[in-house]
Structure 1
Amino acid sequence: MSTPSSPAPGAVPAARRSLAPDLARGLMLLVIATVHAHMFRIAVGGNAGYSLDGPLDTAATAAVALFAENRGYPMFAALFGYGLAQIALRRTAEGREWPWVRRLLRRRGRWLVAIGLAHGILIFFGDIIAVYGLIALLFAGVMRWTDRRLLATALAWGSAGTLAYAAVNGLAMGAAVEGATVASPLDDLVMRVVMVPFFVPLLIVISVFPFMAGVWAARRRLLEEPERHRAFLTRLAAIGIPAAVVGGVPYMLTTIEVWQPAAPVAAGVFWLHMLVGYAGGFGYAALIALVALRVGDRRGPIVTALAATGQRSMTSYLLQSVAWLVLMPAYTLGLAAELGDAAAVGIGAAVWLATVVLADLMRRAGFKQGPAEWFLRRMTYGTPVKARQEAKEGASA
């Protein structure tokens, strides 16, 4: 049986999009921006550590450790899993067979890898897009797993992955990044080429757990139907965020140099910080879902702009990286060597705000997606004519 007119697969129209996922992505980009700007002082500025030059710098570094570092990426990985599961569920509901859906997810993953590698090598060594693409390629099959298998595997990755990351962080990563001076574009390119293969596997092992948690959440439509899950979301926010803050205190004390433990203890402190970071990331997502529920259809200009940023999150993320390239290295504006900790966090917030303004301008101009989202959709689904033809073929059988 065929329908008279089948919509082309791809992005959900803006009028039908749930607010919570977009709002969460838009707000978490602020966390990402402040962490990256804070980190860039060390990564490319030739600084041996945080400046801690007075109470304002100390407070900024402490705040980043407690509320931002290793808190934003778990939520983004969870939202990626949530979004990928939504694609699989929608295509399955259209009547697509699993092999077709799996090919679609993996095609999306391959293009994410291509975009991410270009981003990581040409602009920013800490790319996360290729990581998500590889996860889509490696773990597309989890969409068919039972909840029990999904959660058991996720927890195993969460514990073992963070332990491996903490161990490596305490050894090679600090030596590779801290105090590096990027004096020329060639130096920067060489550093990125060296660092990307190092970072990608590490980021994969700590992202699988939140990715799978996001798949589990999508099956229950936690963010699309927060009114049905209000009690669970409230508990998650009330437990997850305080746990992340309290559990992050030992690491925070090391970053502001109040406590300088031996190397094995420092690795354990960092491991704890990452574990509770998962709780914090999930707690942030739950809190934002509750905020979206309260906002409902009464979206003011600020919420609308934040949601527009989340809807264009990959474009906004890439624009942040372009900003770091312009602002931070010595061969461009060279701010990394000059900024204190608080100033770096302020620069990060300013860059994020600029992307919010640009995303809202794109929305006002009638662009339903950012250029990165448009490119990924086109490469995943093909031209609109081809997508519509496939949709019609899938609807008739």
Structure 2
Amino acid sequence: MNPIAQLGQKRFVSLDLARGFMLLLVALAHASLFLGSSLLTRPESMSMYDTIVNYLSVFLVDNRARAMFALLFGYGLTLIVRSYVKRNKPIKEAKTSLYRRAWFPILFGFILSVLIGGKDILAIYGTALLACCWLLFRSDKTVLRSIMALSLVYVVILPLTWIAMAYAQFNGNTILPGNYTHYFERVTSQFIQFATGGPFIAHFLLPVGVSILIGIWAGRKGLLNESPKNKPFLKKAAVYGLSISLIGALPHALYSNQLIELPPALVGLTFSLHMATGILGGVAYAAIFGLIGPKITNPSGIVWAITSLGKRSLTFFIYNEIMLIVLFSKQTLNLGNQLGMAAGWGLTLCICLTALGCAAWLESKQKSGPIDHLFRKLVYRKSSPRAS
């Protein structure tokens, strides 16, 4: 039997809860970029609370939220393919759907990053899917070998790339464009970056492909399908993954918060370590929700609201990004230059609470998120499986 057809199709609380929580982490990570983070360094602390938030961000959010997002993205892809297989749909039809799922995020990412000015990751995931789509129809062994091979590639690429970026920053060059005063200036710059292959080039900087492949492998094994047999493995993944993630974040936490000084080469290496161990942090977060999910038989209250948010993750990812732009961007209210990290995160949490309220209202009306609805219309056209 095809390994992707072995599990039944249902909506798992674990996945929706993880997606909802992931949106909060991604919003907090992106808020830092508006508040003065350069990836390699943290925004200057104006109070003890800012310092605490800076450390929390390095240890728990930065390069961890994105890894969790990518893993859940990969996991969802296996559910989509499985839904086609269970309905005896042609493989060609499944591949067509997946390629649409790749190209439309690239389009949405273009609109978000170029025209709106958000910190987009949709286009990066779209390009990753273009590259790994074929693996969704290969054996588990092939997927596992691909994870190991790509991981080895990044062991070489990440240090070299980020050492170069560190030297660029030490020489006074910005590595995060975004300090634009005028809208037209920003659109022009972002368009050039996108048109010259920005979403593809980003894979030399961000190892999202590894997390997506891990998500595909986990989906093939059904690790988040709330089965009791997965509990021992998920416990180990949560404990070991989180431990390695925290240890790997320590050197960058000390440097980025200016407790130690390092030459550019070591800055690049510590950041590469932070990013690589962040992949395991994302795995740990997903495993934690895999453990929590089976305990929730009848979601209510805040859990119900977060799962409602997770069901509409595309809509509220874009909503959060737009709200961050409105509040923090120089072209709008410019609060990014006026608030410290603690206040900025507080405001971001308020944004997420409004998203939570809107998602709960949509759930009570049994309505999908408007952008999720549009995306499904574009991808599936008429009638096709809609597992996610």
Q: TM-score, normalised by structure 2?
A: 0.88
Instruction: State the match for 2:216 in structure 1.
Output: 215
Q: Distance in 2 between matches of 1:330 and 1:43?
A: 15
Instruction: State the match for 1:186 in structure 2.
Output: 184
User: How far is 1:165 from its partner?
Assistant: 4.2
Q: Distance in 2 between matches of 1:131 and 1:325?
A: 20
What secondary structure sits across from 2:154 in the alignment?
helix
Cα shift readout 1:314-364 (whole Å, capped 9, x = no counterpart): 111100111122111223111011011211222222222221111111111
Cα shift readout 1:256-304 (whole Å, capped 9, x = no counterpart): 1001211111111011111110111000000011111122x13121111
Aligned amino acid, residue 182 of structure 1: Y
RMSD: 2.4
What secondary structure sits across from 2:360 in the alignment?
helix
What secondary structure sits across from 1:176 in the alignment?
coil
Instruction: State the match for 1:366 in structure 2.
Output: 366
Q: Distance in 2 between matches of 1:49 and 1:215?
A: 33
Instruction: State the match for 2:84 in structure 1.
Output: 91
Instruction: State the match for 2:252 in structure 1.
Output: 251
User: How far is 1:62 from its partner?
Assistant: 0.8
User: How far is 1:254 from its partner?
Assistant: 0.9
What secondary structure sits across from 1:42 in the alignment?
coil
Cα shift readout 1:65-103 (whole Å, capped 9, x = no counterpart): 000000011111111111111111110121123222212
Change (3 A) 1:110 1:331: closer
Instruction: State the match for 2:5 in structure 1.
Output: none
Which of 53, 56, 69 matches 1:76?
69
Q: Distance in 2 between matches of 1:203 and 1:284?
A: 24
Change (3 A) 1:308 1:97: same
**1:227 and 2:228 aligned:** yes
Change (3 A) 1:171 1:342: farther
Q: Is the 8 A contact 2:226 2:290 kept in 1?
A: no
Aligned amino acid, residue 220 of structure 1: K
Q: Percent identity?
A: 24
**1:101 and 2:97 aligned:** no
Q: Distance in 2 between matches of 1:23 and 1:143?
A: 24
User: How far is 1:195 from its partner?
Assistant: 4.3
Instruction: State the match for 1:25 in structure 2.
Output: 19
Q: TM-score, normalised by structure 1?
A: 0.86
Aligned amino acid, residue 122 of structure 1: L
Structure 2 unaligned residues grouped into runs of 5+: 1-7
Instruction: State the match for 2:49 in structure 1.
Output: 56
Q: Distance in 2 between matches of 1:165 and 1:126?
A: 21
Change (3 A) 1:43 1:232: closer
Q: Is the 8 A contact 2:308 2:359 kept in 1?
A: yes
More moved, 193-202 vs 204-213? 193-202
What secondary structure sits across from 1:355 in the alignment?
helix
Aligned amino acid, residue 374 of structure 2: F
Matches within 5 A, 1:1-397: 16-42=10-36, 50-124=43-117, 126-161=119-154, 163-172=156-165, 174=169, 175-177=173-175, 181-196=179-194, 197=196, 199-205=198-204, 206-295=207-296, 297-367=297-367, 369-383=368-382, 387=383
Aligned amino acid, residue 371 of structure 2: A
Instruction: State the match for 2:4 in structure 1.
Output: none
Cα shift readout 1:151-205 (whole Å, capped 9, x = no counterpart): 1211222342365345434444853345853222123323422444565234435
More moved, 143-152 vs 163-172? 163-172
Structure 1 unaligned residues grouped into runs of 5+: 1-11, 392-397
Q: Distance in 2 between matches of 1:112 and 1:256?
A: 34
Change (3 A) 1:163 1:63: farther
Change (3 A) 1:288 1:208: same
User: How far is 1:222 from its partner?
Assistant: 1.2
Q: Is the 8 A contact 2:102 2:126 kept in 1?
A: yes
Cα shift readout 1:83-142 (whole Å, capped 9, x = no counterpart): 111111110121123222212211221222212222121123531111222222222110
Q: Distance in 2 between matches of 1:52 and 1:43?
A: 11
More moved, 25-34 vs 190-199? 190-199
Aligned amino acid, residue 61 of structure 2: A
User: How far is 1:308 from its partner?
Assistant: 0.8
Q: Is the 8 A contact 2:127 2:199 kept in 1?
A: no
